[in-house]
């Protein structure tokens, strides 16, 4: 197995180096992030935004070398290409992009007949199993929340990639306990390796950005692995898995209503996400470059501390309670940060 990973690692390193060098040399503007005016922009040099391409083609190469049949690659590919479309045509209407994502995701999930076997809530289980359309709609909503959540926290060097690696490590740990999910463990292991190699080009200084192609791809991969982990490990409480991906889900939900209450269009970006408030606070003491990577460290450290309790309980009901307790932690933290940045 290590021989495969060594071979693929060399392939990815060469691919990353060649993409960065060629795009900059040829000045292919469609693949360069030159927009320094975006609310979520903190860079001041043209940067290649093809991190998703590197992950995607490394993933395809992994499937080929390992002869790994993974039917859900269709759904991952869909979100990757939607992200690539978004990167190439940055001025498209966000609502149009959302409708495109909704329609395409719905069609593919329905076609693949994806199911969540257990939600740990008996009433919800009965509702979902009553009709295929209800199950499909539920899964699509989960996908869109996690995929867009990944896109929301992208923008700082290493922020999403490290968060992605942490989530994959947790899923790898869960799947390592079960021989039946060894293939899923191998996939998690490879994705951790792939993301770590890319991180070298993205943190602390960024030679390559993930772009929407990367953030959408990462969000869809996390969603699929979460579903498959639940399927292959029926002994694992579903709410434990939900807690692992909680922040990506919550960020979209919270931001949507925060913008509505602020009389803002919920489909357009702003600069008041929690990680951006952390940046503003840190930036009062440190320069912009140092503040950028300190946000990544603080944010993901905060995530680790909030997620640790889920590995110290044997009571299934604890995970349900903790899942609904997590919003209290994040909302309280958010308003403390907001007060320090805008009121103090």
More confident residue, 242 or 118: 242
Q: Which residue has the higher pLDDT, 26 or 181?
A: 181
Q: Quickly list DSSP for 28-79.
A: -GGGEE----STT----S-EE--HHHHHHHHHHHHHHHHT---TTHHHHHHH
Asked whether residue 69 carries a pLDDT value surpassing 60, the answer given is: no
Query: Element (H or E) spanning 323, and its range?
Result: helix 316-338
**What percent of the chain has a predicted confidence (pLDDT) above 70?**
91
CA atoms lying within 13 Å on the CB side of residue 169? 12
Give Cα 105 to chain centroid, integer Å.
16
Q: Please state the rounded mean pLDDT for residues 233-248.
A: 91
**What is the Cα–Cα distance from 255 to 263, expressed in whole angstroms?**
12
Q: What is the mean pLDDT of the chain?
A: 85
- Residue 297 CB burial class (10 angstroms; 0-12, 13-18, ≥19): middle
- What integer is the mean pLDDT of 221-225? 91
pLDDT band at 4 (very low <50, low <70, confident <90, very high): low
pLDDT higher than threshold 70 for residue 39: no
The C-alpha atoms of residue 64 and residue 7 are separated, in whole angstroms, by 12
- Average pLDDT for 107-115: 83
Confidence of residue 30 (pLDDT cuts 50, 70, 90): confident
Domain boundaries in the chain?
A: 2-246
First to last CA, the chain: 55
Residue, of 91 and 187, whose pLDDT is higher: 187
Query: What is the number of other CB atoms lying within 10 angstroms of the CB of residue 194?
Result: 22
State the pLDDT at residue 247: 92
Q: What is the pLDDT of residues 294-333, one digit of tens each?
A: 999 999 999 999 998 888 876 788 899 999 999 999 999 9
Report pLDDT digits (tens) over 134-155.
Answer: 899 999 998 999 999 998 888 7
Q: What is residue 116's predicted lDDT score, i.e. its pLDDT?
A: 86
Q: Please determine, for residue 110, whether its predicted confidence score (pLDDT) is greater than 60.
A: yes
Q: Determine the pLDDT at residue 207.
A: 85
Return the pLDDT at 96: 82
What's the mean pLDDT in 209-218? 91
pLDDT of residue 314: 66
Percent of the chain with pLDDT over 90: 26
| Count of C-beta atoms within a 10 Å radius of residue 117 | 12
User: What is the per-residue pLDDT across 166-207, written as a single tens digit (0 to 9) for each?
Assistant: 999 999 999 998 888 888 898 899 899 999 999 988 888 888
What pLDDT does 195 receive?
Answer: 92
**With a threshold of 0.85, does the pTM exceed it?**
yes
What pLDDT is attached to residue 242?
A: 92
Question: Lowest-confidence range among 12-21, 89-98, 233-242?
Answer: 89-98
Q: Above 60 in pLDDT, residue 40?
A: no
Nearest to 140 by CA among 130, 128, 152: 128
Q: Is the pLDDT of residue 344 over 80?
A: no
């Amino acid at each position: 197995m290590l021989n495969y990973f060594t071979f693929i690692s060399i392939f990815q390193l060469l691919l990353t180096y060649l993409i960065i060098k060629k795009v900059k040399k040829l000045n292919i503007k469609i693949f360069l992030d030159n927009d320094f005016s975006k609310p979520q922009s903190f860079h001041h040099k043209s940067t290649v935004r093809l991190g998703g391409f590197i992950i995607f083609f490394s993933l395809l190469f992994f499937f080929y070398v390992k002869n790994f049949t993974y039917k859900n690659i269709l759904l991952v590919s869909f979100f990757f290409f939607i992200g690539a479309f978004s990167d190439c045509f940055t001025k498209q209407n966000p609502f149009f992009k959302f409708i495109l994502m909704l329609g395409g995701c719905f069609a593919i999930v329905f076609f693949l007949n994806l199911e969540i076997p257990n939600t740990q809530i008996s009433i919800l289980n009965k509702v979902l199993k009553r009709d295929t359309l209800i199950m499909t709609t539920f899964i699509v909503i989960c996908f869109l929340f996690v995929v867009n959540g990944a896109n929301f926290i992208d923008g700082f060097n290493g922020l999403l990639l490290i968060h992605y690696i942490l989530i994959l490590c947790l899923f790898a740990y869960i799947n390592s306990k079960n021989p039946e999910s060894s293939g899923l463990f191998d996939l998690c292991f490879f994705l951790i390796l792939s993301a770590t190699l890319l991180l070298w080009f993205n943190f602390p200084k960024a030679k390559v950005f993930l772009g929407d192609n990367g953030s959408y791809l990462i969000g869809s991969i996390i969603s699929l692995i979460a579903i498959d982990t639940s399927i292959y490990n029926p002994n694992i409480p579903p709410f434990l898995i939900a807690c692992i991906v909680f922040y990506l889900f919550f960020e979209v939900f919270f931001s949507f209503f925060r913008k509505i209450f602020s009389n803002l269009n919920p489909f357009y970006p702003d600069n008041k996400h929690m990680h951006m408030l952390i940046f503003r606070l840190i930036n009062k003491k440190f320069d912009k470059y140092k503040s950028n990577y300190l946000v990544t460290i603080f944010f993901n450290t905060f995530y680790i501390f909030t997620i640790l309790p889920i590995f110290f309980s044997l009571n299934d009901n604890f995970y349900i309670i903790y899942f609904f307790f997590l919003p209290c932690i994040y909302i309280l933290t958010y308003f403390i940060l907001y007060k320090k940045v805008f009121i103090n």
